Structure 1
Amino acid sequence: MANNMTPPAAAKDFLNDHGWEGAEILPVAGDASFRRYFRVIAGDRKAILMDAPPPHEDPRPFIHIARHLKAQQFAAPEIFGEDLTHGLVLLEDFGDHRMREHLDHHPEDEEAIYRQTIDLIKALHQKPAADLPHYDWEQYLREVNLLPEWYCPVQSLDVDLTGFVDAWQAVLEPVIASQTSPVTVLRDYHAENIMLLDDDRLGLLDFQDALAGHAAYDLVSMLQDARRDVSDVLEEAMLQYYLDGLSEREASQFRSHYAILGAQRNTKIIGIFTRLYARDGKARYLDFLPRMWRLLEKDLAHSDLAPVAVWFDQNIPDDVRSKPIVAAQA
């Protein structure tokens, strides 16, 4: 995976064509994909240059969702220019005031900011879903399969793949059946993808993988954060805040689906983080696995996840889950 932070060869001409002649191009933090980001500075103007090189990346979904979110009055970056041939996009710069670092330094603001993230999701769920592919069984299955494809081999586990698929199909069936009026699911909605803007709005980033799906998914993404500890007390308070106004039956069903999608997402992330290590040499992602197992086990405790919980007990026992993957063994 790309980690060279030299600007792409086409960047200078691209910037010149969009009125940023002579701009300074500085690297900024990337993510777990092939995408790279640069800050472009010309006098008192700033922008972000996204380098999403084909064939590994396609910036069109990001552009599509950014424009959809802006049209619905959410703070997604404005698109200043695009070159789809080279995978370059010039974006509005939301600055460096990120939710994650702010809360690291100002923990007293935690409840207020998380409440704001729930308000945003509640507002998004009141809007028509974007024109997107649906979060269907095939997509859910592809994602959970990342665990037997990557984590299990690294841990030298020979597991029951047929039973794995059957268990997930059983628990996901009612979730999928409830997605008759899907919402826009950003899919990576968490503290490291939220910018705190000067106008007190939340700036949204990293939503290019959005799908039309279940309202619980982004709530799980925020409240069971793979990279930041969220206390059980805060998670419950924010979940209840989202559920305020629902009937007891509706709230109970939503909590069930929340746990199911939490387990689905956390299973997927264990596979992804293992792949980032085993395939891409990014050993730092192994540090997140203990948190992911804690989150997954919490979700598996829900009675509606019994088939999946039984599969995990029979195929990945506690002593394996707690056994760290040692970087030297790759």
Structure 2
Amino acid sequence: MGKRQKTIQRFLEINGWSNAERIKLGGDASFRSYYRLKDKGRGAILMDAPPDLEQVDPFLKIARHLKSLGYSAPSIFAANRGLGLVLLEDFGENTFTSLLAAGENEKKLYLLATDFLIDLHSRPLNQTVPNNLEQYTLNKFIAEVSLLTDWFVPAFNNWRLSEKSKLEYELKWRQLIGLDLGVPQNLVLRDYHVDNLMRLEGRVGIAACGLLDFQDAVVGPVTYDLISLIEDARRDVSIETAESVKKNYLSAFPNICPNQFRRSMAVLGAQRHAKVIGIFTRLCVRDKKMVYLEHIPRVWRLFENACNHPELSIMKTWIDENIPAKYRCIPEGLAASC
């Protein structure tokens, strides 16, 4: 048994789970690992977050805050921050992703997810945002979109951007994100999509919407999580469902101007898609996680579509001049090198 496994076993012994069956679950884009624990009719999830690679404090903080607001984040049974180990409530296996794959009604699930956002955004900022939570600053947005030029572009062997082009890219993003997006600020979970949402049996209303993977939460525009939901990097969302989500959200907030709402969705959608293209490339090159590459063509389509909004004409022009259509794909040979 390795050192880390001995540490985990000791943690389980201290917290009364030493005899539990341990089943490894599928990983995510982080360095965390998850295990389902079963022991005499009871269950839990073990989060293993090596402290030299991941910190559990943000997850614990947001989980407890969401629960204090009455939302369905997992209960924390035990945690050792220094070791990077947490015992969580087991929400089961009904992720929205698995339910959709089994033929569940798409619109119904997406509207449940929207109802949670509506409830969250209906509350005052001083209630929904925990103390000292990081702001989604302009510099943070810029650092994220730079992942496209820092990771995706260099993945091509025969193509580079000039330093002038990179500078123009950043300046155009600063111009776009520096706009008054015309929507309120609130708690942004940041990875709000069907892989991180669960339907919880026996709970009603928005309590049936289980929340996962929110440790990167910040204070930012309310439309960020909404665009993350309906412009998913991993699956195609029907136009009908996406329009229903936007309609329901807007009807709940009549003070939000529909034009500003659509503009903010376009700008934040484009920003997120640029970031994700870079992240998926980095996951392959740096972390040897190839599974995300297959989604890059979809994310490029979403990025291009967002840039068709009139407010994003400057970004559309930059892309057309600097990233030819033949490069808006999985970089050739990248999968073989990962």
2: distance between equivalents of 1:186 and 1:256?
Answer: 20
SS of corresponding position for 2:78: strand
1:186 aligned residue:
189
Counterparts of 1:164 and 1:136, CA distance in 2? 18
What per-residue deviation string (whole Å, max 9, x for no partner) do you get for residues 169-205 of structure 1? 1110124x757x5211000111111111112401100
Matched, 1:117 2:113: yes
CA distance in 2, matches of 1:7, 1:197: 32
Distance 1:102 1:218 in 2: 20
TM-score by length of 1: 0.93
Identical pairs, percent: 41
**Which ranges of 4 or more aligned residues in structure 1 deviate by more than 6 Å?**
none
Further displaced range: 242-251 or 51-60: 242-251
CA pair 252-139 structure 1, distance change in 2 beyond 3 A = same
User: How far apart are the structure 2 equivalents of 1:56 and 1:93?
Assistant: 24
Decide whether the 8 Å contact of 1:27 with 1:37 is kept in 2. Answer: yes
Q: In structure 1, the residue corresponding to 2:178 is in which secondary structure?
A: helix
Per-residue deviation at 1:21? Answer: 3.3
Q: Does 1:138 align with 2:139?
A: yes
Greater CA drift, 20-29 or 131-140: 20-29
* Residue type at the aligned position of 1:21: S
What does residue 255 of structure 1 align with?
262
Q: How does 1:95-110 map to 2 (within 5 A)?
A: 95-107=92-104, 109-110=105-106
| Pairing 1:1-330 to 2, within 5 Å after superposition | 8-107=5-104, 109-127=105-123, 128-131=128-131, 132-155=133-156, 156-159=159-162, 160-175=165-180, 178=182, 182-200=185-203, 201-247=208-254, 250-322=257-329, 324-326=331-333, 327-328=335-336
Amino acid at match of 1:113: L
Aligned length: 323
Deviation of 1:245 (Å): 4.5
Does the CA contact (< 8 Å) of 1:129 and 1:182 recur in 2?
no
Q: CA RMSD in A?
A: 1.9
Tell me, what secondary structure is at the counterpart of 1:145? helix
In 1: Cα distance, 2:212 partner to 2:252 partner: 29
CA distance in 2, matches of 1:198, 1:293: 36
Q: CA deviation at 1:129?
A: 2.1
Counterpart-to-counterpart distance in 1, 2:20 and 2:329? 49
TM-score normalised by length of structure 2: 0.91
Unaligned runs of 5+ residues in structure 1 are: none
Q: Any conservation in 2 of the 1:286–1:325 contact (CA below 8 Å)?
A: no
Q: 1:40 to 1:287 in 2, by over 3 A?
A: same
Distance, in Å, in 2 between the alignment partners of 1:97 and 1:147 is: 33
| Cα offset, 1:232, TM superposition | 2.3
2:150 and 2:8 map into 1 onto residues whose CA distance is 37
String of CA shifts for 1:75-125, please: whole Å, max 9, x gaps: 000001111111000100001111111111124x11111111100111111
- How far apart in 2 are the matches of 1:90 and 1:208? 15
Change (3 A) 1:7 1:229: farther
